């Protein structure tokens, strides 16, 4: 296969785009794990809900689908808070098995609720910029994907500022680093749990919006595979590490597309897990993880 620079650039770009969806999903998951130390297997279903909310608002109002991302994040934030308050909080600190089975149960509840509301046929949304491309060197880049990369970067910058520069962010980080210590200094850790879960769900909602706007097919069952990959990404990056989730997401996006190009499409999903296995052999705590996490 000829190694043309333009082609390689294009494959890299598809990897960046795919990485954006993974980053948003994995960052939310990592944030929740960092603070609450719970594993929410139903995180992909929040992406799916984000996709449907975006599509529904777009079809009903006809407004620019990118502007719906804020509404989607807010709605998913509220849904996330409800899940934390009604689902995870009552069982927090009991058995890990309870948390696992609760989140597994949530997968089916959310999927079936979505199927009841929206039906389970595969749907596609058409972006208003579907036909617009921008020449960039030897390749034509669809403007939708450029917007997606910019929007993801903006969300990550916003999240970083929130966590680093605000008292709320500092409280979240404190809870993540030492829950008991945070309680001693007067931080309401249960409130931090609730807010963190809301932020994580909001990020999954944003991933859902970008999923839909990029023209990807969606139905109530799309969340499972991205969620599995998001788990692999946070393990690869280091459990609870936001930079790890970002770097891991990028690695996965680019590796998947590189594998599809050089090895064939059937290797696309497998390569991610091969990378995970290799990293865990040499660095069991992940790329950015600390021992003991």
Q: Which residues bind another protein (CB under 8 A)?
A: 1-2, 4, 7, 10-11, 14, 18, 120-122, 124, 126, 130-131, 133, 139-140, 142, 145, 215-217, 219, 221, 257-258, 260-261, 264-266, 268-269
The CB-of-47 to another protein minimum distance in angstroms stands at 13
Q: Measured from the CB atom, is 179 or 268 closer to another protein? A: 268
Contact (CB, 8 A) for 111 and 49: no
SS3 113: helix
Least CB distance to another protein at residue 52 (A)? 16
Alpha-carbon span 9 to 11, nearest angstrom: 6
Return the number of the residue (221 or 273) whose C-beta is nearest another protein: 221
Tell which residue, 242, 256, 226, has the closest CA to residue 286.
242
For residue 33, the number of C-alpha atoms closer than 13 Å in the C-beta half-sphere is 27
Smallest separation (angstroms) from another protein to the CB of 53? 19
Query: Cβ 11 to another protein, closest distance in Å?
Result: 6
| Least distance from another protein to the Cβ atom of residue 196, Å | 30
Beta strands in the chain (DSSP E): 133-136, 139-142
Q: What residue spans of 62-166 are helical by DSSP H?
A: 68-83, 89-91, 96-118, 143-165
- If the CB atoms of residues 126 and 166 are measured against another protein, the closer one turns out to be 126
Question: Shortest distance, CB of residue 3 to another protein, whole angstroms?
Answer: 9
Q: Which of 72, 50, 79 is nearest to 222 (CA)?
A: 50
Residues in the chain: 293
Residues 212 and 66 sit within 8 Å (Cβ to Cβ)? no
Q: d(Cα 150, Cα 250) in Å, to the nearest integer? A: 14
């Amino acid at each position: 296969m000829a190694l043309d620079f333009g082609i390689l650039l294009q494959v890299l770009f598809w990897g960046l785009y795919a990485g954006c969806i993974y980053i948003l999903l994995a960052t939310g998951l990592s944030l929740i794990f960092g603070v609450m130390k719970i594993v929410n297997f139903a995180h992909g279903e929040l992406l799916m809900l984000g996709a449907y909310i975006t599509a529904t608002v777009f079809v009903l109002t006809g407004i620019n689908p990118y502007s719906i991302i804020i509404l989607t994040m807010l709605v998913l934030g509220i849904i996330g808070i409800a899940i934390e308050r009604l689902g995870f909080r009552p069982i927090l600190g009991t058995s890990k098995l309870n948390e696992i089975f609760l989140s597994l149960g949530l997968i089916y509840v959310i999927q079936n609720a979505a199927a009841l509301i929206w039906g389970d046929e595969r749907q596609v949304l058409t972006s208003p910029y579907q036909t617009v491309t921008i020449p960039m060197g030897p390749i034509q880049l669809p403007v939708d994907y450029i917007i997606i990369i910019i929007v993801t970067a903006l969300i990550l910058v916003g999240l970083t500022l929130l966590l680093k520069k605000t008292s709320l962010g500092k409280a979240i980080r404190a809870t993540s680093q030492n829950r008991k210590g945070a309680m001693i200094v007067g931080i309401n850790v249960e409130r931090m749990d609730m807010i963190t879960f809301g932020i994580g769900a909001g990020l999954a909602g944003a991933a859902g919006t970008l999923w839909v706007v990029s023209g990807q097919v969606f139905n109530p069952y799309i969340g499972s595979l991205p969620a599995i990959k998001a788990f692999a990404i946070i393990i690869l990056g280091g459990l609870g590490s936001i930079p790890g989730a970002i770097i891991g997401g990028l690695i996965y996006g680019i590796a998947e597309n590189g594998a599809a190009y050089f090895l064939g499409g059937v290797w696309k999903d497998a390569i991610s897990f091969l990378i995970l296995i290799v990293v865990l052999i040499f660095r069991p705590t992940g790329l950015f993880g600390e021992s003991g996490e």
